[in-house]
Chain A
Amino acid sequence: MGRPETVAPAGPKPFAAALARHDRTLVRADTRVLQVNVGLVCNQACRHCHLEAGPDRADQVMDRATMDAVIAYAARCGFDAVDVTGGAPELVPDIEHLLEGLRPLTPRLLFRSNLTALAERGDGLARRLRELGAVIVTSFPATSPSQIDALRGRGTADRSVAVLRWLNELGYGLGDTGLELDLVSNPAGAFLPPDQCAAEQRFRRELARRWGISFDHLYTFANVPLGRFRRWLEASDNLDGYLARLAEAFNPATVDGLMCRSQATLRWDGVLYDCDFNLARDLPLGGRRVHVSDLDGPPHAGLAVATGDHCYACTAGSGFT
């Protein structure tokens, strides 16, 4: 029997090597945005979810004491924007307490809704968001109902359309009301998203034509190869091809504007991360777990951002900024 062969690791070069090849480093800049992930509970189990949120994750949500620590941290730092995300934040008990505490502390409060959970809460939460002037950011991956249902579950497209119409009736997404409604589109599979400007024009035309829906902005993002989406990539034999496609589309011009440089993400238990994807990988900011109540101020500029092959999703093409 001969010596065992050395097998090269599968997949593209490490992300750090791609940065080095283009003489780039990924370090934090001034932190202007705080993202607060309030937990993994969700009424959906979307196939591209990097956090594997779902109905069975109700035990991983932010409690009221942590919410108070987050509010106190936002007061100490004065962020330009605070972005509340999940899971489905609608389903977190006391979510109104967090929103009301954050509202006076930032000029821009964003609330990530999956639409169907907002409907399940009745009209109370939506009206409260309107009173608070919160920006609503929601996933609406495609103009094709079949692609939406493929990503987010059967029947989700019809239910989402109904909620978008309702939000328009409340004044969201009409342009002149000051109530901002933004959509996020992820590809329905192992391929890159379209050009954002072209996609926004097309979504605006198609949503108006098909359903009479209007919105403010559309953001297109590549699916991040983590969590439930990574497991689908593995099971469908798409992982190597998708990682190669992301690496091939590496655009060094995106690095300076990456969100992980100017944003920090708090997990539901108060631990700080560079971004929601490093949260999913459990790569804490600065390499150690620090609780929000122990933070004097925003993370220091110059700290290295932890990276992995998932980072290629944010640097592909026009990037994820």
Chain B
Amino acid sequence: MDTYYDPADLAKFEEIGEEAPDLARKFFQYYAAVFDEGELTAREKALIALAVAHAVQCPYCIDAYTRSCLENGSNLGEMTEAVHVVNAIRGGASLVHGVQMRRVAKKLSL
């Protein structure tokens, strides 16, 4: 293996159930139910999944949900905006911790 990530592994995801089939069955049933059309459309859920895939930096998920977004009718502009939402929240989450930093610094400083 010359890389930790192999695109072919994505198609083998269900093999994770070989050691713990009951847990895997419950997980995959839940996973499928989450993406059923509900209060949110399939298109909206795919965009959320794409955004989260970038947040958790999962290459398998980015591969799968880029295709899923396109197949649900989203375009590159919408998908790019979704990634910017991730970026804003991730960047904001870092920046807002600066408030904690300032509080600690002020307590320690004259």
Contacts and interface: CB of A to CB of B under 8 A. Distances in A.
Interface of A: 142-144, 146-147, 187-189, 191-195, 198-199, 202
Contacts of B72: 194-195, 198
B98 to A, nearest CB: 38
Contacts of B67: 191
Between B41, B42, B70, the greatest number of chain A beta carbons within 10 A of the residue's beta carbon is seen for B70
Given A195-B42, A198-B41, A198-B42, A146 B76 contact: yes
A194 B77 contact: no
Given A198-B41, A198-B42, A198-B43, A192 B75 contact: no
B70 A144 contact: no
Contacts of A195: 42, 72
Given A187-B70, A189-B70, A191-B67, A142 B75 contact: yes
Interface in B58-88: 67, 70-73, 75-77
A193 B42 CA distance: 13
A144 B77 contact: yes
The A interface, classified by DSSP as helix, strand, loop or mixed, is: loop
**B: interface residue count bin:** 10 to 19
Interface string B17-37: 000000000000000000000
A195 B74 CA distance: 12
B41 A143 contact: no
Contacts of A191: 67, 70-71
A193 B67 CA distance: 11
Contacts of A189: 70
A195 B72 CA distance: 7
Q: What are the 5 A-B residue pairs with the smallest beta carbon separation, nearest first?
A: A194-B73, A144-B75, A191-B70, A192-B71, A194-B72
25 contacts: A143-B75, A144-B75, A144-B76, A144-B77, A146-B75, A146-B76, A146-B77, A147-B75, A187-B70, A187-B71, A189-B70, A191-B70, A191-B71, A192-B71, A193-B71, A193-B73, A194-B71, A194-B73, A195-B42, A198-B43, A198-B72, A198-B73, A199-B73, A202-B43, A202-B73
